[in-house]
Amino acid sequence: MTHPIQLHGQSFQMHFSGALFWVEKSMLLISDVHLGKISHFRKYGAAVPQQAIQQNFDTLNTAVKFFKPKVITFIGDLFHSSLNSEWALFEDWVHSITSEMILVSGNHDIISPLKYEALAIKVIPELILDSFILTHHPEERDSLFNFSGHIHPAIKLSGLGRQSVRLPCFYKTESQMILPAFGKFTGNYTLEPSYGCEVFALLGDSVLPVPIKEVKNKPYY
């Protein structure tokens, strides 16, 4: 269900939902939920089942119930676009959670910060804690380890013959970790392994370290 990792002397747990739990801070990191995206597509005729909307909230509840965090930090793209019917569901969800909430704003977060502040959610452009920096877009910052999202990382695994599967993943380099997209209707971007990277794929209720056989010394973005 989870996979542990040590970073800069701190303990983290990668969860199969795509969330990352920072043990010492009791902080749950979540990226790219894209609430409202399903309703947006349904509005324009896409055949997306109505029940798919609830899946995001069910997954949020699963992660929160498992870790019981003091703080939940969304690393950008919490809501996909402008307000729609899912905002009311989000308000109800927030009222059901006792954790403090922070939103590190992303490129899709165009809803007024006042709407979030009315729900006691702090909206900020980035967050620096100890030797870590949390941003939506991947960044290189001297002496700081970066947690980010935005890319929606996935890894392609090949089997016998022409069999292959593409799985969302946590993608770690020496100086940063990109979290998988948390939302269930977001799409993924397949990354090629870069020099010194580590990849942890999400499969069912497991987080699986992926052996990197071919390493290419080139950037992932």
For residue range 81-127, list pLDDT tens digits in order.
667 778 999 999 999 999 999 999 998 888 999 999 999 999 999 99
The helix/strand/coil state of 15 is strand
The whole-angstrom separation of Cα 18 and Cα 1 is 11
Distances (CA, A) of 162 to 157, 158, 165, 166: 11, 7, 10, 13
In this prediction, residues 202-211 reach a mean pLDDT of: 94
Beta bridge partners of 7: 10
Q: Which two tokens stand for residue 11?
A: 């303990």
Show the beta-strand stretches assigned E in the chain: 2-7, 10-15, 20-22, 27-30, 71-74, 100-104, 121-124, 127-129, 132-134, 145-148, 153-158, 164-172, 176-178, 189-190, 198-203, 206-210
The whole-angstrom separation of Cα 168 and Cα 156 is 9
Q: What percent of the chain has pLDDT over 90?
A: 67
Of 47 and 190, more confident = 190
**Band of the pLDDT at 136, cuts 50, 70, 90?**
very high
In this prediction, residues 163-184 reach a mean pLDDT of: 92
Query: Which backbone phi and psi does 84 adopt, to 5 degrees?
Result: -145, -165
pLDDT score of 159: 64
Which domains, ranges and CATH numbers included, belong to the chain?
2-210 (3.60.21)
Of 211 and 62, more confident = 62
Residues with Cβ within 8 Å of 173's Cβ and at least 6 positions away in sequence, in order, are 194, 196, 197, 198, 220
The helix/strand/coil state of 147 is strand
**Band of the pLDDT at 220, cuts 50, 70, 90?**
very low
pLDDT score of 214: 53
